[in-house]
Structure 1
């Protein structure tokens, strides 16, 4: 049994951390509101509000009493879960303590100011409008990385904000392998003479698409008591286990894009909602990191939402919402949902194969920007050249090219590799879930998702940050992190679809 001194030291540390966590959650709501609901004129006040919250949470994290609380807890006799909590708070403290509060506040304010600039630049197809504030953000993030560890490349330091335990070398190894093995597969698909069904060519009303998105969330088991669906320029999910919101966007010529984006964001939300309620405000009630978070969204989007059993289940709903699809079969819809595009410029609309070339492109460009090897004004040209090299297409506009993603306006440099890491992990997790659940395909086709929800909650969500990323993967799957399952999945699936 823990001593009174142990209980007191741990409880004091956790109480301090809970205050920080609540401030950060409040800042998240303000950020959601800025992207979804806030009137355009609200930016000056919102920038100041978010800056103040960022500065306050940073000050609370790095204050002298927090260091004392950490040291007292670290010297106590802790349980395994308590030790994990202290480990995670220590990791945050050690990084934050090296960064001046003024810099944290300035980064927060600049990202708030950058969001409407990015929106305008994208709408007007004018990268030069965005370039100056992008330069400011790069300077600020380089300074931030330099404070944390000036002995290492700044991009490596920034990457650890999003994936602290796998290491940038692991990300590079995974991305290199995907590039080496997917490019030949993509080429084979491009040379195939198989005609993939295209039943969703045409125009589909945005209101009907929204109704269908809500149908999909109902079907998959979204908890509307703790969530909501809205639209945003770039789909995202945010929140806590008590309030996990999703957003999507609608293109009347691409109904599958909205549907898959909605299912993707549902995957994020179901992870957030699966975190233990009684650990709210503690690292045990927070998601592991963005690689694991992305594994949940990619699992639901690709392994469920693009599967033949799902389309056997869901096609009747599609036909209810859209006219002119009476003769479409579940096989037709499955093929359309998995068509490999040779002309897709947009990452969030990309298929499972070419998606990773989008990530490689962004990874290379943002690392070169952060490391000072690429000037901001060169980004459109380099972006287009790499699109040509990796995907064989060139954007005609920057809106469809280097301005399409929101992440740089958030100052999120080092984020993009987690998309591919998450996709790879999704395949590994799904393989383990499939082995553990009897007739998972039959469950999906029948609209029975409880077993999959339960497996993911038990093996991933319920642990919060109890384990490091490698340890969580081993706990869930019994194996070390590997790209084998994703590449096997991709080869088998697309080999069958395109008769390779």
Structure 2
């Protein structure tokens, strides 16, 4: 229970009662999360109509629990009370959610939930059949519904900025745009340099065919090596990799392609980072803001840290290549594997298979399109052509199908407009956090090579996970690293790493 009165016979305070109600709302949201996981992993295809209604009902119940008169009164009373720093932070988070949710009509909340559930099935069908027109009506409706939501929250502000705050409430959209612009300005010429490089980098260490069942078994072994808690988690496959759950039950999914063993593996390691964060949140504070993750920028920092600063290192491949060779009968060396997993190739159309550099151009494209959709500067019917034009402009490639183009990501089927920038924000944050960990612990290369992740994991538990949502984003980063969020560490890291791989000239 979340009640924290010190005297067992004392009446619960307004703060205690506030957290009790918040816990009930969190339980409803958690139940909805399990149903959403089930819809994407195990639900029969015909289950969508009922599931849409189920999720819509739960969203309405959660909305009412968070926004009714009693919650409003408890909030006001708790805010006027004598709170310590942690209690004040918890009340701040409840207030932020209350204000956003209370501004939305219940009917709109239900409609968004129901439409998103229906849109998911439409997206899966559209992607499988390379038929954007199947998904377009749902996307159009979701764009309109999210515009209505933004207007209900604050009709005087940029609607995209309002929606962005759902995923990153404490870094402004202006700041996110500046970071994205800085990444684009720095990475485009670096990618061009790499394209012109004569360096002999192995790119075909994983050519061939790889049985997907063996890939899944190997991914399970890797998850065990990383320290995934199987008593509180599971691995399944889905059309798009994702993580779902909390500190008591956190599940990851991935997908496998017999011609690309790296795609499934890196996605699995990425999702491990999300799960490790969730499973590291304080168990005794489940259902309260102090037991919830900070936001998606911080969440993505954890997944990108494990994917890139561990999973794409030569030390990591020195550790796992013997097991990989046993599963797949390959003679690739750890160095060849390292070079292949870090090759920069701007002819890749798929975001989740992108290298560390071109990845951010994939994000910029999605960000620009969804921002224009929400602002009313782009019609849904124009999305495929604009998407393809931007890929040609930024990466010099043009998708031949919408399945490889604007239908490849699941996010818009959920109505998640404003999500994509957090991937890049999380990537730069990941570098900053990893650098800080090494400043405190020393070079972690040898430990990664020995599959000894305990000290890194404990550092992340101590500096990120245990705080839940106590600190705002910049506060959390500053507490952990000594400075606010910046792209400097990331740009230095990629220049050093890829400069060495591709014999690039040093730059200042």
Post-superposition Cα deviations, 1:242-285, rounded to whole Å, max 9, x if no partner, equal 11100000000100010000000000000000000000010011
1:376 and 2:374 correspond: no
1:266 and 2:276 correspond: no
Range moving further from structure 2, 198-207 or 348-357:
198-207
1:213 and 2:182 correspond: no
Q: How does 1:1-80 map to 2 (within 5 A)?
A: 8-80=13-85
Q: Give the drift of 1:438.
A: 3.2
Structure 2 CA distance for aligned equivalents of residues 298 and 400 of structure 1: 23
Instruction: Tell me, yes or no, if the aligned pair for 2:5 and 2:13 is still in contact at 8 Å.
Output: no
Corresponding residue for 2:117? 112
Instruction: Tell me, yes or no, if the aligned pair for 2:5 and 2:16 is still in contact at 8 Å.
Output: no
Task: Give 3-state SS (helix, strand or coil) of 2:355's partner.
Answer: coil
1:87 and 2:95 correspond: no
Given the alignment, which residue of 341, 345, 354 partners 1:341? 345
Instruction: Tell me, yes or no, if the aligned pair for 1:2 and 1:78 is still in contact at 8 Å.
Output: no
Instruction: Tell me, yes or no, if the aligned pair for 1:244 and 1:272 is still in contact at 8 Å.
Output: yes
Instruction: Tell me, yes or no, if the aligned pair for 1:6 and 1:77 is still in contact at 8 Å.
Output: no
Structure 2 CA distance for aligned equivalents of residues 405 and 368 of structure 1: 17
Given the alignment, which residue of 296, 304, 319 partners 1:290? 296
Instruction: Tell me, yes or no, if the aligned pair for 1:2 and 1:77 is still in contact at 8 Å.
Output: no
Question: If the length of structure 1 is used for normalisation, what is the TM-score?
Answer: 0.98
Structure 2 CA distance for aligned equivalents of residues 359 and 124 of structure 1: 24
1:98 and 2:86 correspond: no
Instruction: Tell me, yes or no, if the aligned pair for 1:6 and 1:78 is still in contact at 8 Å.
Output: no
Post-superposition Cα deviations, 1:362-405, rounded to whole Å, max 9, x if no partner, equal 00000000000001111000000000111110000000000000
1:498 and 2:479 correspond: no
Q: Give the drift of 1:456.
A: 0.3
1:460 and 2:464 correspond: yes
Post-superposition Cα deviations, 1:62-101, rounded to whole Å, max 9, x if no partner, equal 1000000001110110111100000000000011111001
Q: Give the drift of 1:3.
A: 9.1
Q: How does 1:303-314 map to 2 (within 5 A)?
A: 303-314=309-320
Task: Give 3-state SS (helix, strand or coil) of 1:52's partner.
Answer: helix
Post-superposition Cα deviations, 1:347-367, rounded to whole Å, max 9, x if no partner, equal 000000000000000000000
Task: Give 3-state SS (helix, strand or coil) of 1:213's partner.
Answer: helix
Structure 2 CA distance for aligned equivalents of residues 439 and 299 of structure 1: 15
Instruction: Tell me, yes or no, if the aligned pair for 2:14 and 2:77 is still in contact at 8 Å.
Output: yes
Q: Give the drift of 1:343.
A: 1.2
Corresponding residue for 1:359? 363
Corresponding residue for 1:179? 184
Structure 1 CA distance for aligned equivalents of residues 408 and 6 of structure 2: 55
Task: Give 3-state SS (helix, strand or coil) of 1:33's partner.
Answer: helix
Task: Give 3-state SS (helix, strand or coil) of 1:247's partner.
Answer: strand
Q: How does 1:88-487 map to 2 (within 5 A)?
A: 88-197=93-202, 198-323=204-329, 325-326=330-331, 328-487=332-491
Structure 2 CA distance for aligned equivalents of residues 368 and 142 of structure 1: 12
Structure 2 CA distance for aligned equivalents of residues 413 and 490 of structure 1: 28
Structure 2 CA distance for aligned equivalents of residues 2 and 212 of structure 1: 48
Instruction: Tell me, yes or no, if the aligned pair for 1:23 and 1:57 is still in contact at 8 Å.
Output: yes
Question: If the length of structure 2 is used for normalisation, what is the TM-score?
Answer: 0.97
- After superposition, the CA RMSD in angstroms is 1.2
User: How many equivalent pairs are there?
Assistant: 498
Post-superposition Cα deviations, 1:154-208, rounded to whole Å, max 9, x if no partner, equal 0000000000001101100100000000000000001112232121011111011
